[in-house]
Structure formats: C-alpha cells, structure tokens
Chains A and B, each alone.
Chain A
Amino acid sequence: MDLSVINPVLFVAGFLVAATPLIFAALGELVVERSGVLNLGVEGMMIIGAICGFATAVETGSPILGFFAAAVGGAVLSLLFAFLTQITLANQVASGLALTLFGLGFSALLGQRYVGVKPPRLAEVNFGPLHDIPVLGPVLFSHDIILYLGLVLVAAVWAGLKFTRAGLVLRAVGENHDAAHALGYKVVRIRTLAIMFGGACAGLGGAYISLIRVPQWTEGMTAGVGWIALALVVFASWKPWRLLLGAYLFGGITQLQLNLQGAGVAIPVEYLAMSPYVITILVLVVLSADKNAAPASLGRTFHASS
C-alpha cells in the first residue's frame, strides 16, 4: 500500500470531470422537481442526448454543435413526457419509466451507424498563464468549456430560483399548484417549460459522456448515471449548491475507490459502491426534520377542474 501515489491535484481535477454529467442531469431534474413534477425518465433523456450529440458532432465535425443538438434532443424527448403528464394527466412515475425504456431503445436505433466511430475532440479552454499556476492551474483552468458551463448553470439556477420572479412562480407551482392556479399562473405551461429545461440539461449531461468523458458511442452507455442524478437531487434537498457538492461527493467516491485500488489498498468494492446510496438515505433522514425540504406538490397530477 502506498497512498503517496495518489496525486491530490489530479484526483480533484479528475472528479470535476467525472461529476459534470451528473451536475447537468441532476440540475435539470432539480428544476423539474421544484415545479412539482417527478420525471424518472432522466436516463432515457440522457442517452438520447448522448447519441444526438455524438451523431451531430461526428457529422458536422463540431462538438459544440453536438452539445447544442443534445440539448434539443433531450428537450424534444421530454416533451413526450410533458404531453403525457401535463396534457393527458398520466401518472408521472409510470410515464417516466416508459420514457426511459423508449429513450434507451430509440437511441440504439439512431446510433446503429456510429459504433466504433471516434468523435471530434473539444479542446480545453485556453486560459493562457492561468493554466500554469501550480495546483490551481491543473485543477481549475485545464478543462473544456462545457464543464464551466455546468458550473455557471448551477449559479444561474440558484439565482434564478431565489431572486427572479420566474423562480418564485416556479416554486409556487411546485409547492401548491391549486393556489398557484388560483393566483392566475399557467401551471401546465410553467411545468412544461421546466420539463423541457430538464430534458435539455439531461441531454447535455449525456453528450458530455459520449463526447468528452468516454468518448465513444455504444448502446446503453450512460449505464445508470440518470438514476444517480435522481438520487443526487434528493441528496441535495432540492438546493443547487448542495447539488454541486453532492455531485463532487458522488463522483469523488468512485474516483477515490479506483485510486485506492490503484494504490493497492484492499477495499470491498461493492460496499464502497453502495455508499453514495446509503449516504443519500441518511441525508434524507436528517433532512426530514425540515418539513419544507421537498416541493409539496411533487409527483401530484394537476388539473384545473380538480
């Protein structure tokens, strides 16, 4: 065992990257849940984003266009969920699960031609001299633009929910849709927009996996990240900054166990892999003291007449 082989700078830089798909997907879901909708289809929207982004990047040669397409693809798929749950008032849990099933299948059909193809690479942002600062340089200033976009988005969602009128309305809808409706807010429209935002974010997260983190296309390659994102939203108790922290923790645990293995520490891998979920449950218990943590209307169907 030799823990000195673990380079803390590279370790931190590593989990910043590992956490990025989670940040996107979970942040989108956070907004959706804040509006009172539970969309369990994150995995399906991510994988659609992964293939839309990959295919577009390969065809156009531009990863940035790929990310754009991924966001559009995720949002379009989420419209299906919005239609089911907001227009036809179907159950959200079942609709979300169906969305994942559909997304996994549909992405595989779209991606048949892209197995074994190497996508164009997105360059790191050039920070000039900043990159050469010891420690901070490699940790903070050696990444691609999308990673920074994720961080900006966290701040934007936080500010948007807290300080803007739109954020206030969104939260009002999530807390009590009947009251919000009575005040004249368009509950269905607001929720549909939130769902689309969630879809776009999930799509970006998926494309981050297929274009940057891995990068390649294979069927089912998101391998459950969407489900972890759902856990993360709860872990964060629906708060953006805690979500960021949680994403680093979740990403960090995987990085840590791989690092420990590399350093020759005998660890029970399965039990460490369980730990994020167990921790999330513990956090839920701790949070339960705060009765206002979860949006009150979460998962409930809204119809103006009811």
Chain B
Amino acid sequence: MKLSTLLTSAALALGVAGGAYADAHEKTKVGFVFVGPVGDGGWTYEHNQGRLAVEKEFGDAVETVFVESVAEGPDSERVMTQMALDGADLIFTTSFGYMDPTINIAAKFPDVKFEHATGYKRADNVSTYSARFYEGRAIQGHIAGKMTKSNIIGYIGSFPIPEVIRGINSAYIHAKKVNPDVEFKIVWAYTWFDPAKEADAAKVLIEQGADVILQHTDSTAPQAAAQEAGNVITFGQASDMAQYAPSPRVSSIIDNWAPYYIARTKAVMDGTWESKDTWDGIGAGMVSIGEISDAVPADVKEEALALKASIADGSYHPFTGPLKKQDGSDFLAEGETADDGTLAGMNFYVEGIKGDIPK
C-alpha cells in the first residue's frame, strides 16, 4: 500500500511536470469545460462560438479541446485534471459552479493557466472573467420604456441570484427614466433550462398585460410566444435570436466571448498571461447589442444607440445616483456610481419595483 502510494505521488508529480513541458510544444493547447451541451443554443453555445473563434484566429498554432455537459463537483475536477495532464496550457471553466474545483485543480498544476467565468476566487494561475450584461439591460430598459403602451413590462428570471437581480434593476432604472408610469412584472422560472416553462411564463406575462418581455433565460420560447400574441416586443438573450427579427425581437444582448478568449490565448502564447479579474461590458465587446430592428421608431433607436455609445466609452454608468433601494433607504447619492463589489453581490431591488425577491 505504502509503495503504491509513493509511486502514485511520484507519478502525479511527473504528470505536473508534464504539464510544464507542454509550454515547449509547438501548439498552444486550450481546454474548455462546458456545463451544458454545445447545442443548448444559449450559454454554452456562445462559449463554444468563442472557442471556434480562437481556432479560426490562430489556425494551426492552437489546438482546442472541450468536454460538454460536465457536472459541477468532482466530475469537473476530473475533466480539468485530464486536460492539464494532456498538456493544456490554458483552461476555460465556464460555469459559476466550477469555482472551487478550478481553484483546487489550479493549485495542483501551477504551470497551467485557468480562467473561471463568473466567479470571485482567484489565484496566481487563475483569472476570473465575466460580462457586464447589465449594461445591455440598460439599453433594453430604455427601448422597453419608450415602446410599451400598456406600461407593463414582463421579466422572466431564472433563479433569484445577484446576476439576474442586477439585470432587473438596470432595466427598470432606464425604463423608469423615460416612462415614469412603467411597471415591472417579474416571474421566476426556478430553472436554468426548461423551454416549455419559459414559454408558459411569457404567455402568462402577456396575458397579464405585458407588451414587452425581457428574459434572463436562454431559449427562444418567449420569442415565439410573443410572436403568436402579436403587438409584443422581445429581446434576444445570449444569442442574437435573429430568426425572430424584426419583430417581436427588436434587439438582443449577445454573449460575445470571442475577443476575450482570443486575447487570453494570445497572452499565453506570448508569455504575458497574468492573473486578473476581468469584468468587461459593451466597451470591450464582451457584451454585444444585436441590431436594433426597424420595429423600433427611428428616434428611439437613435437614443438607444447614443446610450450604448456613452456606456461603451465609459462616460455613463448604468447605476448612477441618485438612486434609492426598494425599502426607501439610500443606495447612491447624486452623481455617485455603484462600485463593482456592490454590483457583484446585489441582492435588493431599487426603489419602485414591486414585490419581494424570493428567499
């Protein structure tokens, strides 16, 4: 028993060294760990598009590998280890639940670089990255506030987590700004993925008078429901969903991981990679705004594009005071902008949104 243990640890050490050798390989090897199938048409699909962009950019200089539908927990640790053992130089782990596994495995392979999406734990060889989707939500909110006739905007959330709450607040603030009478109806689907339930949620919101549907779930089900109902507008989520343009889909928020993945792969190739926290938005191109269709009046479209430009160049922050929290307490003073820490852990609605966040 003792001997075999010794052998095992020796071999593991060798394996780690093997990872180091990989640097000398001609090809840079990039691994991707996906939480869903690449055919989910949403979150994982877009990450896979980013992977394909890396292949296209560097051609024969890189080799990419991926494993899809990897459960969070020990399965993900095994897949990461396997990629590292096989000589990966850089591994992207693309789900929040991979956070602790990524940190664990990164500690065993100090020469392999890891990139964890949407988390908050870093190490010398672990970077984190996420997208400021709330910037896109601000533009959606603006268009929604201008275009709603019933003054009721429906919002489909997945689970009540900071990422989703942040998006609701951002959309609400900007809808309210252009339309003081606007009201948000929020429905939680309590699932990451159940197209039929998303369709139901959209139908219910439409039946209850909403003529704009915003969604924080990735299927096209709400688009189809809106099309059937008529006179309802929607926004694409995760991917462009252009097959529903020009109406009901009037614009979209697209997860565009390609620029980041290309830049980080390049950094590994050049030997300039270092651990950092990236939270990019429209400016850096991580969040793309899909084409605003002709269903939107020209003046509204112009305003929306101006808003987009001001967010992109940093002259405007979607969370700028004065803002109060739902309970009436102060959130941001006049001209103050929310810091990233507050945004990352946002667990309250801003003033004016009705209803409670489910506990």
Contact = CB atoms under 8 A, between A and B. Distances in A.
A254 B197 contact: yes
A117 B39 contact: no
Contacts, number: 112
B200 A14 contact: yes
A220 B193 CA distance: 9
Interface string A235-264: 000000000000000000011001101111
Nearest to B159: A269
Interface centre among A18, A255, A261 (most CB of B within 10 A): A261
B196 A223 contact: yes
B45 interface: yes
Interface stretch (A5-13, A66-74, A182-190): A5-13
Nearest to A14: B203
A210 B194 CA distance: 12
Contacts of A264: 185, 354-355
A124 B321 CA distance: 50
Interface residues of B, number: 40
Contact of A5 (B187, B208, B221): B208
Per DSSP, chain B at the interface is: mixed
A116 B243 contact: yes
Interface in A59-97: none
Contacts of B36: 219
B219 A218 contact: yes
Given A214-B196, A218-B41, A219-B40, A262 B208 contact: yes
Interface string B196-217: 1111110111011100000000
A245 B186 CA distance: 29
Contacts of A21: 196
A6 B200 contact: no
Interface residues of A, number: 41
A213 interface: yes
B130 interface: no
Interface string A1-40: 0000111001100100010010000000000000000000
Contacts of A115: 39-41, 45
A296 interface: no
B356 interface: yes
B37 A18 contact: no
A254 B194 CA distance: 13
Interface string B332-359: 0000000000000000000000111010
Contacts of A111: 39
A269 B42 CA distance: 24
A297 to B, nearest CB: 34
A70 to B, nearest CB: 16
Contact of B204 (A223, A255, A270): A255
A116 to B, nearest CB: 5
Contact of A273 (B190, B201, B207, B354): B190
B351 to A, nearest CB: 16
Contact of B39 (A112, A118, A255): A112
A254 to B, nearest CB: 6
A268 interface: yes
Interface in A102-126: 108, 111-112, 115-118
B220 A263 contact: no
Given A14-B204, A111-B39, A261-B186, A213 B196 contact: yes
A270 B204 CA distance: 19
Interface of A: 5-7, 10-11, 14, 18, 21, 108, 111-112, 115-118, 209, 213-216, 218-225, 254-255, 258-259, 261-264, 266, 268-270, 273
Given A108-B37, A223-B194, 14 more contacts: A116-B41, A116-B45, A116-B239, A118-B244, A214-B221, A216-B220, A218-B39, A218-B42, A218-B219, A220-B37, A221-B219, A223-B197, A258-B187, A266-B355
17 contacts: A5-B209, A115-B40, A213-B199, A215-B224, A216-B195, A218-B195, A219-B36, A254-B197, A254-B200, A258-B187, A259-B208, A261-B186, A262-B154, A262-B208, A266-B355, A269-B190, A273-B190
